[in-house]
Amino acid sequence: MLPVNNKLEKFLNSDRAHECVAILILLNAFVLGAETYESMRPYLSFFHTIDQLLLCVFMIELSLRVFAGGFRFFRCGWNLFDMVTILVSVLSTFSTLSIFRVVRIIRVMRLMSIFPQMRMVISVIHRAIPGILSVAFLLCIMFYVFSVLAYNFFHDVSPEMFNSLGGSMYTLFQLMLCDEWSNTTRPILEEMPYSWLFFIPFIIIMTCSMLNLFFGLIVNALQRAADKENLVMIQNKSLYSLQDSADRLDSLEAKVDTLLDGIKTLNKRFDI
């Protein structure tokens, strides 16, 4: 196993190496996307060759990272994600099932593990999952209550939209997304003029309030991650400043020692 921070490991973790791998991944994504067009059918063999060559490059890159990092490679979750992605792509080349050929597009997801900004966003979303699940549970409870109320209020007026609990949930889901909400509510308003007392609070509570809680949780987590990163940068700068000051003091101390030695030499000569 190579030592920590060896030259190969530094190169593979450098921005230049990450940019080269990102370009190859984007080229692979372009090839996989071009295969979906009928006009590109005559070039399928050419695209398949390029895809196999890129897979070989990714395998070589992964092997070098394992060789350079040794057991340290397996301690990083993003490295394991890259390894699983490439291994699944390799397995897809030996299978005739269409589902395994489709998973080749998973290679594009490696872009998330290359750029630190993307890794930070994924980590932030992962840390925000407990809060998101709490909001989602509250959203489901509110949505269920409104669906039962909508069925009891409007199934006689609009049976095609509120014919059951499932139909009510689907209709309210469209309203929550503001998908043609006017075409949905106006026929009911003509039959029940006071039905706006239900629809307007529903849209305000579910769309303007509940859904915004999701964005608020993610934005708050991103802000905390950015503050933490800034704090780490400030600490690193302070550490570098202290190290630089220590180096300067050592240099000054060495110069003082040299000067004292020179003075002692002159004193000896003077005494002689």
The three-state secondary structure class of 115 is coil
Q: Give how far the C-alpha of residue 139 lies from the chain's centroid of Cα atoms, to the nearest Å.
A: 24
DSSP state of 2: P
Residues 164-213: pLDDT tens digits? 889 899 989 888 888 778 888 888 888 888 888 998 888 888 888 777 88
Pick the CATH number of 117-272 from 1.20.120.790, 3.40.50.1000, 1.20.140.10, 1.10.287.70: 1.10.287.70
The angle, 0 to 180 degrees and rounded to 10, between the axes of the packed helices 181-191 and 196-203 is 160
Domain edges within the chain: 7-114, 117-272
Helix (H, G, I), strand (E, B) or coil at 229: helix
3-state secondary structure 71-109: HHHHHCHHHHHHHHHHHHHHHHHCCCCHHHHHHHHHHHH
Q: Taking phi first (over 0 means left), then psi (-120 to 50 degrees means alpha), and beta for anything else, what does residue 97 get?
A: beta
Provide the CATH topology of domain 7-114: Four Helix Bundle (Hemerythrin (Met), subunit A) (1.20.120)
CA 90/CA 241 separation, integer angstroms: 48
Q: What is the pLDDT of residue 116?
A: 72
Q: What is the pLDDT of residue 95?
A: 60
Low-confidence ranges of the chain (pLDDT < 70): 1-2, 95-104, 229-230, 232-233, 235-244, 266, 269-272
* Identity at 190, one-letter amino acid code: E
Cα-based angle 54, 55, 60 (whole degrees, multiple of 5): 95
CA distance 57 to 28: 11
**Cβ neighbours around 58 below 10 Å, total:** 21
What's residue 3's pLDDT?
73
